[in-house]
């Protein structure tokens, strides 16, 4: 008897959570839910699927990630990652609200790395791919910083 009630509560929570991301700028590069669905249905691209962050989170690594975020991401995602940067106001889909993304089930190291490396190309958004712009360690530093938003 309790199982159906629990399932209903979980379903209700999910339905309520989906509009929240849609209202906050569409989420990460077309919506965290769009990228999540893509990963859930097709998996991550093979080249990223097994990636694990080799860098240990530390104050220095997170500070370096924040500096990279400020240099490369703030213009569209805003200073706090809310998707409200000046450079992103005319983009469609708008830049994602990155706050709290690390709490989502798909937010593995591999998922973050893929997102940053390939940018918005898989979702046809304006986010540039960073795999040819940033060193691998810099992408991992960004991953650590993004987990703090």
The residue extents of the domains of the chain are: 2-146
pLDDT at 30: 47
CATH second-level architecture of 2-146?
Answer: Orthogonal Bundle (1.10)
Burial class (CB in 10 A: 0-12, 13-18, 19+), 78: buried
d(CA 107, CA 57): 16
Which residues are CB-neighbours of 125 under 8 A, at least 6 positions away?
A: 29, 30, 91, 93, 119
Q: For residue range 40-79, list pLDDT tens digits in order.
A: 788 899 999 999 999 999 999 999 999 999 999 999 999 9
Share of the chain above pLDDT 90, in %: 57
CA distances from 147 to 1, 93, 118, 140, 143 (A): 38, 23, 19, 11, 6
Per-residue pLDDT for 9 more than 60?
no
- Stretch 31-46: mean pLDDT, rounded? 78
């Amino acid at each position: 008897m309790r199982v159906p009630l629990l399932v209903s509560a979980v379903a209700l929570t999910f339905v309520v959570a989906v509009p929240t991301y849609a209202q906050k700028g569409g989420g990460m590069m077309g919506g965290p839910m769009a990228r999540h669905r893509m990963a859930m249905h097709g998996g991550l691209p093979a080249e990223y699927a097994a990636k694990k962050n080799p860098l240990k989170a530390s104050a220095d690594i997170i500070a370096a990630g924040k500096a990279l975020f400020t240099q490369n991401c703030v213009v569209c995602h805003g200073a706090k990652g809310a998707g409200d940067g000046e450079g992103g106001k005319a983009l469609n889909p708008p830049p994602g609200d990155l706050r709290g993304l690390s709490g989502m089930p798909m937010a593995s190291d591999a998922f973050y790395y893929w997102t940053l490396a390939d940018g918005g190309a898989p979702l046809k958004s304006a986010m540039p791919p960073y795999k040819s712009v940033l060193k691998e360690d810099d992408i991992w530093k960004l991953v650590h910083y993004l987990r703090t938003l």
